[in-house]
């Protein structure tokens, strides 16, 4: 009886153990990110930031990401119109296509897709860079030289990612609407002027743009915390760097989607 029951029970314990370990892992990551945020905020009063490093990071993160943001935004705007076209035609409301595409783009799609693309390019790259520094003990070398790694490395990257995402979302808003305008002209024969009229005709407010930008700042904070946290806690040599990058990408994507819901709900 006992011998027959024991494998069953072991399997149950295994599953329970896995679920528990999963929760503990998530709690550890969230806690680590919270502590990191506290440390970063402490460096702002009074500001102890390495400005040359900040400038270098801003160039590397923002200027170098422009091409992918431009391509993504133009195509996304066009896709929004292609998807809205049958619905708009069915309702016979071609004049509303500017409003429909504008609303979705400004509030949801532009911040979300820009965040995903930037998380792939900037967030992952940042983790790889920090992780390599950790496994080659460069961070310890900084500490030995009495240089605070948080204010020298982390704070410039944190500001860099948040600022990058904010500016790229602004760009993406404008470019997606440009792509949408000319796609609407090609597919639905809606003149660009009436498209812009749909955008500015009173159904859309500056608040809709503002909502998207608030989201982009929040996504930027989460992404920056995730990528710096996983970079700083890299363990296990070169394969560890790969694992850290993977963890960053997954955590950023999950964090972005979950927070998107709550932010939409609060702002809505």
Partner 1 sequence: MSIAEDIGLETFAMARAARELYSVFVRTLYYVVRGRREKGAVVRQMYEIGNKSFVFLTITMGFIGMIMVYQSGLQTRRILPDFSLLGATFLELLTRDLAASLAALMLATRVGAGIAAEIGSMVVTEQVDALRMSAADPIDYLVKPRFIASIVMTTVLIIWGGFVMFTVGGAVGYFAFGISWKTFASTQLVSHGDLITGLTKCVAYGGAIPVVSGYCGLTTFGGSEGVGWATTRAVVNSSLAIIVLNFFISGAAYVIFPK
Which residues would be at the binding site for partner 1 (CB under 8 A)?
Answer: 68, 71-72, 75-76, 78-79, 82-83, 85-87, 89-90, 96, 100, 103-104, 107-108, 113, 116-117, 119-121, 124-125, 127-129, 131-132, 135, 187, 203, 237-239, 241-243, 245-246, 249-250, 253-254, 257-258, 260-261, 264-265, 268
* C-alpha dihedral sign at 201, 90, 209, 261: positive
For residues 77 and 156, which CB has a smaller minimum distance to partner 1 in the complex?
77
Distance between CA atoms of residues 1 and 15, nearest Å: 22
| 8 Å CB contact between 110 and 176 | yes
For residues 108 and 148, which CB has a smaller minimum distance to partner 1 in the complex?
108
Distance between CA atoms of residues 23 and 25, nearest Å: 5
Note the residue count of the chain. 268
Query: Please, what is the minimum distance in Å from the beta carbon of residue 36 to partner 1?
Result: 20
Query: Please, what is the minimum distance in Å from the beta carbon of residue 156 to partner 1?
Result: 19
Query: Please, what is the minimum distance in Å from the beta carbon of residue 112 to partner 1?
Result: 8
For residues 104 and 194, which CB has a smaller minimum distance to partner 1 in the complex?
104
Query: Please, what is the minimum distance in Å from the beta carbon of residue 27 to partner 1?
Result: 16
For residues 81 and 221, which CB has a smaller minimum distance to partner 1 in the complex?
81
3-state secondary structure 181-206: HHHHHHHHCCCHHHHHHHHHCCCCCH
For residues 35 and 254, which CB has a smaller minimum distance to partner 1 in the complex?
254
Q: What are 178's two structure tokens?
A: 């440009």
């Amino acid at each position: 009886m006992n011998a027959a029951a024991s494998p069953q029970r072991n399997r149950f314990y295994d599953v329970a153990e896995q679920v528990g370990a999963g929760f503990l892992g998530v709690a550890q990551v969230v806690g680590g990110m919270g502590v990191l945020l506290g440390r970063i905020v402490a460096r702002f009063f009074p500001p102890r930031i390495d400005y040359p490093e900040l400038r270098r990071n801003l160039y590397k993160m923002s200027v170098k990401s422009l091409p992918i943001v431009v391509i993504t935004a133009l195509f996304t705007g066009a896709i929004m119109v292609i998807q809205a076209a049958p619905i708009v035609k069915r309702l016979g409301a071609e004049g509303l296509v500017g409003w429909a595409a504008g609303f979705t783009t400004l509030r949801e799609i532009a911040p979300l897709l820009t965040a995903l693309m930037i998380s792939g390019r900037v967030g992952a790259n940042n983790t790889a860079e920090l992780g390599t520094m950790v496994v080659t003990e460069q961070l310890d070398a900084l500490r030995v030289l009495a240089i605070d790694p948080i204010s020298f490395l982390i704070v410039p990257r944190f500001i860099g990612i948040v600022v990058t995402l904010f500016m790229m979302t602004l760009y993406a808003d404008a470019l997606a609407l440009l792509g949408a305008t000319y796609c609407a002209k090609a597919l639905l024969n809606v003149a660009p002027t009436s498209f812009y009229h749909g955008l500015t005709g009173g159904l859309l407010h500056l608040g809709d743009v503002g909502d998207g930008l608030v989201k982009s700042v929040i996504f930027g904070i989460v992404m920056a915390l995730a990528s710096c946290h996983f970079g700083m806690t890299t363990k296990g040599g070169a394969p560890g760097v790969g694992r850290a990058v993977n963890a960053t990408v997954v955590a950023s994507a999950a964090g972005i989607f979950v927070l998107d819901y709550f932010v939409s709900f609060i702002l809505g």
